[in-house]
Each structure stands twice: as structure tokens, then as C-alpha cells.
Amino acid sequence: MQLEGTIKSVTFHSPDSGFSVFRVIVKGEKSPVIVTGTFPELGTGETLQMEGEWGNHPKYGRQFKCVSFTIAETATDNITDYLASGLFRGIGQKTAEAIVKVFGEDTADILDNHPEIFRKAKIKGFTAKKTEAFLAAWQLNRHSRESLLFLYSHGITGSVAKKLWNQFGQETIAKVSENPYLLCEEVWGIGFVKADEIAMKIGIAKDSPLRLQAALLYTLQEASFNEGHVYLPKNMLLEKTIRNLRIPMEDDDAINSLLDQFERLCSRERIRRVDDDCFYPLLFRAEQEIADNIRNRLQANALPTSGFERDLMSWEHNHKFAFDPIQRQAIQMALAYRISIITGGPGTGKTTILKGILHLAQKMDESVFLAAPTGRAAKRMGDLCGIPARTIHRMLEMDPVTKKFTYNAENQIHCDLLIVDEFSMVDTLLAAALLAATPFRTRIVLVGDADQLPSVGPGNVLNDLVRCPRIPTTRLQHIFRQAGGNDIADKAAKINAGILPSPIDGPNFHFVPYETPEEAHAILQNLLERGVREKMNIDQKAELQILTPMRKGPLGVFELNALLQNLMNPGKTRHRLYGTPWSDGDKVMQIKNNYDKNVFNGDVGIIFKVAKDAEKVTVFYDDKTVEYEGDEVEQLTLAYASTIHKSQGSEYPAVIVILDSSHYMMLQRNLIYTAITRAKGHVWVLSAPGALATAVRNSRRIRRFTRLAERLL
């Protein structure tokens, strides 16, 4: 049975299961109808076209049980989305709704043909100057309207629709109609399910080769760029694709059609297949290039290191410090080999070794480059070593137009020694680019902690290289005494070994149990108001970081940032832009590489000014001020709280880590080890009952499918 109605109120909605209870206004019914079913998060005013059946609940009475639904689109919905798309400066969602409320379905006609009516209308927030600017922008963008309204009618709105228009212009409708699966490409941020819905509306058949091939390629790309795999085994690729396509396992014809398209993609090398390993071609080439490059470096003869002991002893005498034997070994390897690795946890002397290597390089009058994956890691490296360090992206100079590195195999960097810190964060594609741009005569020293989380991007490069016995590698395990008896490094080492420290509490490592999320919020507030200040005098906004494994949930990043914004930046006017309330003084993070602005994923800054009318946010970073206009604001997120993954490569005077039982999927040893080792001065671990112990016991790491270690044998 079909039923159409408009949601009056949301009685219940479960974010986990999607089960919802709505009160819906239905034409012909005297009072709102109770509707139950599985829905995404919907709001009042949404009009639903539903399939289902009537039933009677013993307690709540007559109900409509919905089994499937669509959200009804109206002309006014689409024109509202178009006005709020970011094409019109100063017109956000509320202003767009106010315009359409006045003119309804005649909005476009009035703006096109009768602008004088708009000028006379009284719409909140519109001055004469703003009115003329808006009408001018409307006329300028008339040519885009048909395409954008077409996209909005298919649920493609906001910055995604704008990007499509910027890419395809007048061909937008033709391109999307011809192949809606191009929306699966990472640049658009639309998944296969959404693209598939559009394809079904347009009339693409379920057994279309276009659909089956798109599903296979999307599944492989998702595995690589969202889950970190360099390849997928054939059976796993097919199983995941079958789930994405929602093909019943007993449908032999559909599965055989999928196998046919899989073989076709392999024959055209759009999927690079080696035995049963299925690679995204770009990653296949990158991993092979890393292996070939390193093998060539390993074939070079060791360089003479005579005299290094004398010069090292001179450095020791001047600094009243003596290297231990394994540190001397690491320094000698850095001088002798074209590539070497130094790996170890905090407090094991990595920085001291680097100072020794740099001293000898200076004695030999060598040119030295220092690099790290993130801006924070590069700044810390430069501060500790006493010479400037750059991010890898800045060193290789990304061309913002072509999105390719200026320095590459044909145009290499020029230095005698390259040291790369925090190499555990470097993924397969970046590692391949870095090695290709570095001459074989250059000695490369890779530094990092192989026990930390792997890179966000595809691969597990440092871990794979450490597993290769041919690469000269120094493993640092001894923890040197830290200033003031700091116990963080010692306890992190115990946790890394699977041992729950006893006692847990110490001078710098603090364990705080809690029972409920509400209690955790109260403890967090108390720490910010008193607890942290009692231990150290720091700028909490700049020098304290709250870390959590998950983005969602009551103790996830989103909820915590809303709480912390009020605690750490109180009394400020909030300006809602693109779904987020911003205010002057907010701590924010860049979440996407922006080569035009020279800011990169993970860079953290403070908002200097929010100009809501101009939809502009100005952010101050360590060395520059950057302006974000319109939908560029979507590249920012509040950063009072961050995921542990996002904290890689950073170090803070103080860290608060929150571990909750709802994070059980992420409670892994290397995750908590990474979080704890971000702290330089003090760390507080807030733990639900058993959460820390669970994480320490759980040595299971989610396996990443890579072949780099085997290629190096």
C-alpha cells in the first residue's frame, strides 16, 4: 500500500539501527498518522512517499509500517538548494528559505523577468546594496541554473554540484545522464549507493556493464583510499562488490555477469591483476617503483666512514654526552648506505642520533634536507635539529594546476643527505614520489616509529621496509631517562609490549576512570578548568589536544567539539556556515590538501575572523594567514578534539585521551600507543570500565594488503 505525507514531528530515531517513529500529516486523515520503519535522519517538513501496510500496536494503536520510501522533491526545494549553493555570496540556507517563502514557485520567474518586484519586497537581511549584488549574481549565473537544478533534483547539492558544474559546464546534464557513476570518483565525494540511485532514476539497467564495472572499480578504490589496502584478493573484491550491488548470492546469472565484467576490466588493465591480487593500477605502479628504487640503492657499495669516530667524539666532548653503541651504529649506517632506517618509540634517542648525523654532515660540508609528512612534524623536527625542515609536499613543490609534483624522476632535488621524520605516516603514493625525486647519490635516512598507526593513505610502507632484512635498520628499544622523571615513555613502552602499567598513575601519566559519557564530560570540564592548570601552565587552546578514536557518538569528535567549543572559547558569537557554528578564536583543522593556499590536511590554526555576510573565514596558522570563502569553508573542521589518526606526526605539551566502551572496534594497542606518545609533558587517559585494558590486550591489527615486503626480497 502507498501513503504520502509530511513529517510533523520525530518521536524517535536510532542513529545505529535507523529505526524511527514519526508523526506524519496525511491528506484525508483527521490527526497525524504514526509511521514506523527504518529511515535515515529526517527532519520535520520532509514529504515522504511510502510503501507499507497498516497495523495495530497493542499499546500505541493504529500505525503505518513503512518498508520502503522516497523523499518527495518539489520545485521550491530545488530552487532553495540552488540559492543556498554557494554561488550567491551572503545567501545561506535560511536566507534562501526566506526568499522562497515570499515568492514560492514563482521565485525564478520574478528574479529573471521582474526584478523590480524583488527590490520592493521586504526580506530580512537584504539592504539595497545586498539586493543589487544578489540580482547581479543571479543574472550572471542564469546559464548554470538548468544544470544545477537537474543535479538538485537528483539529490546532488552544495559544493558537490558546484564542483560538477565547474568541471563540465554546459555538458553537466549530458555527462551525468550518460554515466552517473563518474560521481563515484573520489573528487566528488559521492559513494556508489548514491550514484546508483541516480542511475536507476535515469534508467540504467541493473545488469548494465557500465554499472557492474563502476561497482568493481569503486569497491577497489574504496579499499585502497579509505581502508589503506594496496590491493584486494579477488574473492574479497568480488564479495564486497556483490554487497555494494545488493546482488543475492543465489542469483547465478547476476554473479556470472559480474565475473564477465571483472575479466573485461582486467584485460584492459583498469584492474591490474597479479595471480589473485587485484590492484588499482596507480598503486600497483607506485609499489613497484618503491621496490625498484630501494633495490637499486641497496646495490650501491657502502661508503667509507673512516674518521667519523673522531668527529663524533668531538661533538660528545662539546655537549658533555656519550652516544651508546646502538646510537653509534645508526649514525654510521646513515653515513655508509644510500638508504637506512632508524625506528623506535619516544625517549629512545632518535633526535639525539639525528643531531649526531647532522654534525658529521656539516663536517663533510654536505647539503642536507629535512622533511616530514605534516607541517607540525616538520616544524618540530626543525626546532629540535636546529635547521629548517619542510613538509614532503612543499619540498617536492606540488603544482596546484596539474596536481603533480614539480620535482620528480626527471627533475630531481639536489642534496647529499635527506632525512625524513615520522615516516610511518607516509603512504605508498607519497613514498614513491619522494624516492623518485631523490637522486641515487643522495643518502636517505628514514626515521619513525613502526609500532604506531600506519598511514591514513594506502599502504604500510615503514612497517614493510622494517621487515626487509636487506635494508640497514637500527631498532631503538632502550628508553633514556627523561627530564623530571617523566614516565610517559616508559608506560607507553609497557603498553606497546602488551603490559598494563602498574601502578598506572604516575607523575606525568594520569589515569581517570569514568562510568558514563556524562561523567566523562564532567571530568573533562574539570580538567580544563582546574586539573591541567594544576600540573602545567600552558595555553590550553594551542598546547592541549583532546584525542578520541571515533568521530561519532557521545564521546566522538563531533560531540566533543561542540562541548569544547563552549568550554574553551566561551562568550563568542557563533556564525553558522555550511552546517558548523564558527566563531572568532576557534581552533580549527584543515582536512584537505589545498595547494593554491599552501595549507595541507592536518594543519591546525586559530580563526582570526568570521565574516558571515561575506561567507568568509580567516584563519591564522603558524606562519601565515589564510582566507576561506564560500564552500572553501567546508575544508575546515573544529579541532579542539581530534581523532587519534589525525594526531599522527604531532606532539603536544599535554594530551587528554578518551577511551569509551562504544569505541570497542577501535580499541587496539597501536591506537592507544599512538595517542599516548603524542604527549610530551602530561597525558590524561579517561577510560570507561575496562576500555584501557581491552586496548592494551588487543594486539590485533587490521591487516593491510600490501606486497612491498615481498617485492623487496
Kindly state the average pLDDT of the residues 669-682: 93
Q: What percent of the chain has pLDDT over 70?
A: 95
Region 365-389: what's the mean pLDDT? 91
Most confident of 174-183, 258-267, 496-505, 550-559: 258-267
- Ranges 54-63, 169-178, 482-491: which has the least confidence: 482-491
pLDDT over threshold 90, residue 166? no
Q: How many other C-beta atoms can be found within 10 angstroms of the C-beta atom of residue 27?
A: 8
At residue 381 the predicted structure's pLDDT band, cuts being 50, 70 and 90, is very high
Least confident of 41-45, 301-305, 678-682: 41-45
pLDDT of 578 > 80? The answer is: no
Element (H, E) at 182: none
Does the pLDDT of residue 74 top 60, yes or no?
no
pLDDT at 18: 66
CA dist 269 and 650 (Å) reads 39
- Per-residue pLDDT of 622-642, as tens digits, reads 778 999 987 788 889 999 999
| pLDDT, average across residues 259-278 | 96
What gap in Å lies between CA 219 and CA 348, rounded to an integer? 41
Q: Is the pLDDT of residue 288 over 80?
A: yes
Between the CA of residue 515 and those of 345, 519, 671, what are the distances in Å?
Answer: 31, 7, 22
Residue 205 vs residue 125, higher pLDDT? 205
Give the Cα separation of 546 and 561 in Å (integer): 9
**For residue 310, is pLDDT > 60?**
yes
Nearest to 225 by CA among 509, 474, 427: 427
| Nearest CA-CA partner of 63 in 111, 104, 19, 106 | 19
Q: Left, alpha or beta for 228 (phi > 0: left; psi -120 to 50: alpha)?
A: left
pLDDT digits (tens, 9 = 90+) for 498-553: 999 988 999 999 999 999 999 999 999 999 999 999 999 999 999 999 999 988 88
Q: What is the pLDDT of residues 593-622, one digit of tens each?
A: 787 888 888 889 999 999 877 678 999 997
**Nearest CA to 428 among 73, 25, 705?**
705
Q: List Cβ neighbours of 49 (8 Å cut-off, separation of 6 or more).
A: 2, 3, 4, 69, 70, 71, 72
Q: Does 159 have pLDDT greater than 70?
A: no
Angle at 93 between CA 87 and CA 95, to 5 degrees: 90
Q: Give the pLDDT confidence score for residue 71 in this predicted structure.
A: 65
More confident residue, 134 or 447: 447
Phi and psi angles of residue 293, each rounded to the nearest 5 degrees, phi first: -65, -45
Whether 200 has a pLDDT exceeding 90, the answer reads no
The mean pLDDT value of the chain amounts to: 88
- Is residue 348's pLDDT more than 70? yes
Mean pLDDT is lowest, of 20-24, 170-174, 207-211, 255-259, for: 170-174
Query: Grid coordinates standing for 506?
Result: 604516575
Rounded CA-CA distance 225/231 in Å is 11
Mean pLDDT calculated for residue range 680-700:
93
Check pLDDT > 80 for residue 70: no
Q: Write down the pLDDT at residue 186.
A: 47
Q: Is the pLDDT of residue 135 over 60?
A: yes
Cell 541516480 belongs to which residue? 198
Residues 6+ apart with CB under 8 A from 358: 368, 385, 386, 387, 419
Kindly indicate the confidence band of residue 151, based on its pLDDT and cuts at 50, 70 and 90: confident
8-state DSSP, 180? G
- Calculate helix-pair angle for 669-676, 488-496, nearest 10 degrees: 170
Amino acid 187: pLDDT: 47
187: three-class secondary structure by DSSP: helix
Distance CA 321, CA 77 (A): 71
∠ CA 275-276-281, rounded to 5°: 85
Mean pLDDT of 194-207: 84
Size of the chain, expressed as the number of residues it contains: 713
At residue 33 the predicted structure's pLDDT band, cuts being 50, 70 and 90, is very high
In which band, very low, low, confident or very high, does the pLDDT at 481 lie, cut at 50, 70 and 90? low
Is residue 370 a contact partner of residue 389, using CB atoms and an 8 Å limit? yes
Taking Cα atoms as reference points, which of 409, 372, 485, 467 lies closest to residue 710?
Answer: 467
Residue 222 predicted with pLDDT over 60: yes
Binned at pLDDT 50, 70 and 90, residue 482 comes out as: low
Lowest mean pLDDT among 295-299, 317-321, 451-455: 317-321
Among 153-157, 163-167, 200-204, the range scoring the smallest mean pLDDT is 153-157
